[in-house]
Amino acid sequence: MRILGIESSCDDAAAAIIETDRAGVAMVRASAAANQDDIHRAYGGIVPELASRNHVITIQPVVERTLAAAGCKLGDLDGIAVTRGPGLVGSLLVGLMYAKGLAQATGLPLAGVNHIEGHLLAPLLEHEVAMPYLALVVSGGHTALFMVEDFGSYRRLGSTRDDAAGEAFDKVAKLMGLGYPGGKIIDDLARSGNPRRVKIPRARVKGAPLDFSFSGVKTAVATLLRSEAGVTLSHADLAASFQEAVVEMLVRPTLAAAREVNADTIALTGGVAANSRLRECLAADAAADGRRMVAPSFKYCTDNAAMIALAGSHRLLRGERDALSIDAAANLAL
């Protein structure tokens, strides 16, 4: 099955073509994205209206570029998969309407995909992972632990009570005047800092050991920067100390969940999965516990259309398809 995937839930307009065999194993033929970091940088965060307006301009060229890179035409496809939520509604609508137009014109079956399901399955694009597996999804919009029981069958074990981990990275980078998006900048800066130099409190959610909370770390950094000590503080030390706190607050519930469900494999996925310290710590702690950690390479950690094509191909393989009347759903639940 050769599937075109389209993703536009946030600030990336992406397309990919994957081929899935009968066993459901996927091979990525092409994957491309139009990145908008340069547009949103001036605002220190994503401006939804600018994101959707730019998707309108870039979506068709990105799809055409992807088809050309895969060496195929629309007539060579077996289906179209598109993100229908969760995300920014204006952004979602651009990809969804474009996909519906293609489905209408070609008669190809359409599969609407939950963006989180895409992130949960992304590790399968490059690794052989037996199900069930535990997945930690950490991105700019989401932080949650899911048991991936089968394609289409996911059980949420825990999630953030407030900010997403990526949101905390971005907000702290903004507070420190480091630029946008903040995750990679903090990751790079932290390499030359001392993670034990600044005291950052680690939050635990009372009575819910598999849940997360990141608003406290953000407030701690803001308070520190406003204080007298904040004036002379090394930014590298602060970045390293903040990152260490976030990593610990992600790793502890993940290991607790792995023990609770006795998961052999822990998949780390979503934009924050690109964080070098998180990859290092989770891999080490998982190994010490007799478990394996897998994480996609950077291009499949952040938003991409290959993961959407993969999730959609399995819906189509199960005989499911969506009517052209499906709508975007900003708060779509999994």
140 lines the binding site for ligand KG4 (CB under 6 A): yes
90 lines the binding site for ligand KG4 (CB under 6 A): no
- Residue by residue, DSSP assigns 114-175 as EHHHHHHHGGGGTS--PSSEEEEEESSS-EEEEEEEETTEEEEEEEBSS--HHHHHHHHHHH
Main-chain phi, psi angles of 25, to 5 degrees: -80, 130
Task: Please name which of 84, 88, 85, 81 lies closest in space to residue 18, comparing C-alpha atoms.
Answer: 81
Instruction: Work out the number of other CB atoms within 10 angstroms of the CB of residue 213.
Output: 19
Choice from 7, 117, 163, 170 touching ligand KG4 (CB under 6 A):
170
Structure token pair of residue 84: 């229908």
Per DSSP (E only), the strands in 48-92 are 79-85
Q: Classify residue 45 by its DSSP letter.
A: S
95 lines the binding site for ligand KG4 (CB under 6 A): no
Draw the binding track, 83-122, toward Zn ion (x: CB under 5 A; -: no contact).
----------------------------------------
Beta-carbon contacts of residue 188 (< 8 Å; ≥ 6 apart): none
User: Interface with ligand KG4 by CB under 6 A: which range of 32-40, 197-205, 264-272, 305-313?
Assistant: 264-272
Q: Classify residue 75 by its DSSP letter.
A: G
Query: Least distance (Å) from ligand KG4 to the CB of residue 141?
Result: 4
10 lines the binding site for ligand KG4 (CB under 6 A): yes
Residue 166 interacts, among Zn ion, ligand KG4, none and using kind-specific CB cut-offs from 5 to 8 Å, with ligand KG4
Query: Least distance (Å) from ligand KG4 to the CB of residue 105?
Result: 29
> Which 269-288 positions form the footprint of ligand KG4 (CB under 6 A)?
270-272, 274-275
Structure token pair of residue 90: 């204006």
187 lines the binding site for ligand KG4 (CB under 6 A): yes
Between 276-288 and 235-261, two packed helices, what is the crossing angle to 10 degrees? 40
Residue 237 interacts, among Zn ion, ligand KG4, none and using kind-specific CB cut-offs from 5 to 8 Å, with none
182 lines the binding site for ligand KG4 (CB under 6 A): yes
Residue 302 interacts, among Zn ion, ligand KG4, none and using kind-specific CB cut-offs from 5 to 8 Å, with ligand KG4
List residues near ligand KG4 by CB under 6 A: 10, 139-141, 166, 169-170, 181-184, 187, 270-272, 274-275, 302-303
List residues near Zn ion by CB under 5 A: 139, 303
